[in-house]
Amino acid sequence: MNNHSELDSNNKYKILFVCLGNICRSPAAHGIFCHIVKENGMQELFSVDSAGTYGGHQGELPDRRMRRAASARGYELTHRSRPVSSMDFLDFDLIIAMDDQNYEDLMHLAPSVEASHKIKRMASYLTTRDITYIPDPYYMGTEGFNLVLDLLEEGCRNIFSMLSRKA
Ligand code: 4NP
């Protein structure tokens, strides 16, 4: 990871959330993290995006079920799905994978050892649960989407605290 003690308005800290389709988990994490940044008036310091390791949903809005569950918590998800690119490893300071497969796929795509050090697992930022990955809610019911949002809210708050403590 780059030195994020350099959080200032001339040098935004860039964070990318990644899942498989970029229509459920990562756009939700993206929306939640943006919400936290805004809540803390730190929009000048962070740049946030999300992407998928699979490009088959490119251009689509997040899954309707995720948009509905997120909206009920005050997050409006408007991101359009896009695939991860090799440029992302140069552009972003921190790349957060939702599950082990995303992590492995990103590790294979990383163009250098330095770039691979930017990749972290979202579950590594969970402090209240013994969970190692963010489950894919695509084939789950409403409870699955709400569980994912609970996990992402906790992980995003912890990532934000870690980064802003170092500001
Ligand atoms: P996501 O969920 O990776 O959280 O966006 C999925 C979305 C689509 C598919 C799988 C997972 N799919 O197979 O199309």
165 as an active site residue: the answer is: no
- Can you tell me whether residue 37 is helix, strand or coil? helix
Residue 6 domain flag: no
- In tens, the pLDDT along 143-167 reads 999 999 999 999 999 999 999 986 5
Residue 83 domain flag: yes
68 as an active site residue: the answer is: no
Residue 2 domain flag: no
> With 0-12 CB in 10 A as exposed, 13-18 as middle and 19+ as buried, what is 18?
buried
Residue 8 domain flag: no
pLDDT score recorded for residue 1: 38
Stated pTM of the model = 0.94
- In tens, the pLDDT along 98-131 reads 999 999 999 999 999 999 999 999 999 999 999 9
CATH of the domain at 115: 3.40.50.2300
Please determine, for residue 87, whether its predicted confidence score (pLDDT) is greater than 50: yes
Q: Out of 19, 24, 34, 156, which one is annotated catalytic?
A: 19
Residue 5 domain flag: no
**Distance (Å, whole) CA 115 – CA 72:** 36
Q: Which residue has the higher pLDDT, 161 or 9?
A: 161
19 as an active site residue: the answer is: yes
The residues lining ligand 1, judged by C-beta closer than 6 Å to any ligand atom, are 19-25, 56, 136, 138
Residue 7 domain flag: no
Residue 105 domain flag: yes
The mean of the pLDDT values for the chain is 94
- In tens, the pLDDT along 70-81 reads 999 999 999 999
Averaged over 39-62, what is the pLDDT? 97
Structural domain span for residue 57:
13-164
57 CA to centre of ligand 1 in angstroms: 8
Shortest-distance atom of ligand 1 to CA 25: 4
58 near 82, Cβ under 8 Å?
Answer: yes
**Distance (Å, whole) CA 131 – CA 12:** 30
Domains: count for the chain? 1
* Residue carrying the six token digits 């492995």: 104
